[in-house]
Amino acid sequence: MTEVIFIVSGLYILISVFILLGLWLRQGPAAGKSLSSGSVIICARDEEKDLPACLKSLEEQVLEPLTSERLEIILVDDASQDRTGELMEEFARRSRFSVQVLHMPPPQHGEPSAKWRPLKEGIKLARHEGLLLTDADATLPPNWVQRHLSELGKSQIVAGFALIEGEGMWGRIQCLDWLFLLGVASSLNRLGIPQAALGKNLSLRRADYDEVGGLEGIGFSLTEDLSLVQAVVRNGGKLSFPLAADMMVSTPGVPTWGEFLNQRKRWASGIRRLKPLGQICIAAMALRHLGIVIGILAGIPAALWAWAATAAINFLILRRITVKMGLSRRIWSFLFWEIFYTWTAPALAVRLLNNRRVVWKGRKFTRSTQPAGSV
């Protein structure tokens, strides 16, 4: 068992060094002219609590030159049962931008749903070249639209970070967890191995979306953001995923442990769409966690040494990410995150084995109920 722990930890360290180098890699400026206009698409289901802050941040976007024709906003109410649709209509009446509100009926029996369904309908209404995607619980920095339009002048698809704004240690742990995962994705992209991105902070060109057949052509997925990235990249597109604080959106974390596990179960459903190296990275993380946990519970001293060595490189990765994103003070929660990061993997694995059902916005999904072609 000791030998297995050392082998698994060694593989994890090797991959982590590779990722750390990617975070230090300098990227030269790419030629390209900023897109002139964009369509922001936001899908929401029962989001009356967080939607007002999102819409307020949209109204405060800074565009140069500032004209209403440069930006349109498409709001899709996904059969909400609260005041989400009313809030959208109120915003449309008073916004300085062109706003369309689409009210979706409840999905029919057997119809693909999740975010995939309202998002594809919202994109159909978009009139501009840039498609800018975010969520109803995201608060955007003032130049978010401008930065995405600028990046789309260089790349076919653009991704940004999300900062978890939560209270207490649970919120700080989630913050570091998201920064770590997004930082790994950004590093792999810098190294020429694009993998995934976050639909809460994503944009792409309309022409490239149409070339891959849109979401209909890609097929249903609970992780439509990952599917879009992989489809565009496979079609020859370039992903831009900068470590840029001025593109970072903020969002609340999930309030409970159960919701966290359900979130990760949904994310895990997209692993099969990753490229082989991405799957290897996920496997190395899982084996590292399991090896350390089993080793410690079995009383094997080597497990503690392996944990210390791998935790050290985790610290270096997170330190680099937090410094680049202007979040250096967040690193002080590292020890609590490291314990959480290592010991939640077995719990998630057990949860996945016992129950593969995913709950999204009150709707349940399983492998048997997802449409053909989904993950």
Cβ contact 188:21 at 8 Å? no
Q: How far apart are CA 143 and CA 249, in angstroms?
A: 11
Query: What percent of the residues of the chain are helix, what percent strand, and what percent coil, each to the nearest 5?
Result: 55, 15, 35
Residue type, 79: A
Q: Does domain 28-268 have CATH number 3.40.50.300?
A: no
Measuring CA to CA, which residue among 69, 129, 124, 83 is closest to residue 102? Answer: 124
Q: 109: which 2 tokens?
A: 């029996």
Helix axes 334-354, 257-268, angle to 10 degrees: 70
Q: What is the pLDDT of residue 19?
A: 94
Q: What is the pLDDT of residue 30?
A: 57
Residue type, 138: A
Q: What is the pLDDT of residue 374?
A: 36
Q: What is the pLDDT of residue 126?
A: 94
Strand 38-44 and strand 130-135: the pairing is parallel
The DSSP-derived string for 214-240 is HHHHH---S-HHHHHHHHHHHTT--EE
Whole-prediction pTM value? Answer: 0.89
Residues of the chain with CATH 3.90.550.10: 28-268
Q: How far apart are CA 11 and CA 34, in angstroms?
A: 41
Q: What is the pLDDT of residue 257?
A: 83
CA dihedral 211, 214, 218, 223 (to 10 degrees): 130
Helix axes 2-24, 301-324, angle to 10 degrees: 10
Q: 265: which 2 tokens?
A: 């179960």
* Chunked mean pLDDT (size 10), the chain, 375 residues: 87 93 78 85 94 96 76 94 95 94 85 82 94 96 94 94 91 95 94 89 95 91 87 93 94 87 73 74 84 89 93 97 95 95 78 61 53 37
